[in-house]
C-alpha cells in the first residue's frame, strides 16, 4: 500500500534527483510551491496527491483512483500471482499497477472488490473502529435457523485468534439463502461461522462495502469508478 505522505526533500529527490542542499536553496528562495502555498521546510509533509511546482513548473502528480470491481469466483484478491488470475489482471485502467485492494474476498467468493491508490481512504475504510459494514449474500447447503441468527448476533469465539466476533446480522431470505452483514473481516469468517453449524457455504457474494454497492448491471470481471456521492460519503480524502 502506498504511503500517505513523503517529506518534501525525499519527494524532490525521488522526482527530480535533487540533493537536500539544493532543496534548502530552493526553499530559501521561495521557489517551491505545494498545493498553492510556498513551501518552507525540507521535512514538510507532501501528500501523495499534492500538486508541487518548482519555479512555476508543475511536477507530475498522481491522480486518485477509486474503482469497484465485480470479482468472479476463482479470481484471486491479490495484485500479482504466478498461477491464478488476480483482480488486477482483470483491470484495463492505465493506473492499474499502482492500485491496491481495500480488504479481500476469498478466491471462491464473488462480488464487490474495491481498488484504489489512496492509502488513506483504504485504511480508513478498513480501520476496525470504523466498523464499516460488509454485506454478503450467502447460499448454504442446509436450512437456516433462528439459532444461527442468534449466534451470529451474539458473536462467536474463534479459538485460533482467541477473539469473539463482533455482532453480525443474519437475515434469512429463503430456506438456504441469507444476507450476512459484518463489521469486520476475519479470515474465512462467514464460512467458519456457518461451519459451527456444520452447514457449508456453497456460494458467497459481496454486494456492499459501507456506502458502496455492486451495481446490478456490472458484469463479472468488469469494473467502474465510484460515483461522486459514494466518494463523498465514504470519505475519499481528496474531496475533504
Q: For the window 181-200, what string marks contact with ligand URA as x by the rule CB under 6 A?
A: -------xxxx---------
Q: Which of 32, 69, 105, 125 binds ligand URA (CB under 6 A)?
A: 105
- Give, in order, the Cα–Cα distances in Å from 30 to each of 14, 27, 38, 179: 20, 5, 6, 58
Nearer to ligand URA, 191 or 222 (CB): 191
3-class DSSP string for 124-190: HHHCHHHCCCEEEEEEECCCCCHHHHHHHHHCCEECCCCEECCCCEEEEEECCEEEEEECCCCCCHH
22/13 Cα distance (integer angstroms): 10
Task: Decide: is 86 part of the binding site for ligand URA (CB under 6 A).
Answer: no
The cell numbers describing 171, all together, are 437475515
CB of 147 to ligand URA, least distance (A): 19
Instruction: In angstroms, give the least distance from the CB of 79 to ligand URA.
Output: 17
Applying CB under 6 A, which part among 31-39, 102-110, 166-174, 218-226 lies near ligand URA? 102-110
Residue with smaller CB distance to ligand URA, 7 or 188? 188
CB atoms within 10 A of CB 164: 11
Compare residues 110 and 234 and give the one whose CB is closer to ligand URA.
110
Q: Which residues bind ligand URA (CB under 6 A)?
A: 105-106, 109, 188-191, 204
Amino acid at each position: 500500500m502506498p504511503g500517505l505522505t513523503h517529506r518534501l526533500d525525499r519527494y524532490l529527490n525521488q522526482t527530480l534527483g535533487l540533493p537536500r542542499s539544493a532543496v534548502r536553496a530552493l526553499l530559501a528562495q521561495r521557489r517551491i510551491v505545494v498545493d498553492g502555498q510556498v513551501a518552507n521546510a525540507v521535512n514538510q509533509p507532501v501528500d501523495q496527491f499534492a500538486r508541487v511546482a518548482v519555479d512555476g513548473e508543475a511536477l507530475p502528480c498522481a491522480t486518485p483512483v477509486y474503482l469497484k470491481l465485480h470479482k468472479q469466483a476463482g479470481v484471486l484478491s491479490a495484485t500479482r500471482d504466478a498461477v491464478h488470475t488476480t483482480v488486477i489482471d482483470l483491470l484495463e485502467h492505465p493506473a492499474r499497477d499502482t492500485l491496491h485492494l481495500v480488504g479481500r474476498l476469498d478466491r471462491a467468493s464473488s462480488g464487490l472488490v474495491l481498488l484504489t491508490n489512496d492509502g488513506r481512504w483504504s485504511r480508513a475504510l478498513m480501520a476496525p473502529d470504523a466498523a464499516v459494514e460488509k454485506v454478503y449474500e450467502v447460499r448454504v447447503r442446509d436450512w437456516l435457523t433462528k439459532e444461527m441468527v442468534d449466534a451470529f448476533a451474539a458473536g462467536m469465539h474463534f479459538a485460533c485468534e482467541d477473539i469473539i466476533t463482533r455482532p453480525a446480522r443474519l437475515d434469512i431470505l429463503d430456506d438456504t439463502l441469507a444476507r450476512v452483514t459484518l463489521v469486520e473481516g476475519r479470515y474465512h469468517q462467514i464460512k467458519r461461522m456457518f461451519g459451527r453449524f456444520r452447514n457449508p457455504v456453497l456460494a458467497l457474494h459481496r454486494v456492499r462495502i459501507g456506502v458502496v454497492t455492486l451495481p446490478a448491471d456490472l458484469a463479472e470481471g468488469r469494473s467502474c469508478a465510484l460515483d461522486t456521492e459514494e466518494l463523498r460519503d465514504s470519505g475519499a480524502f481528496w474531496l475533504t
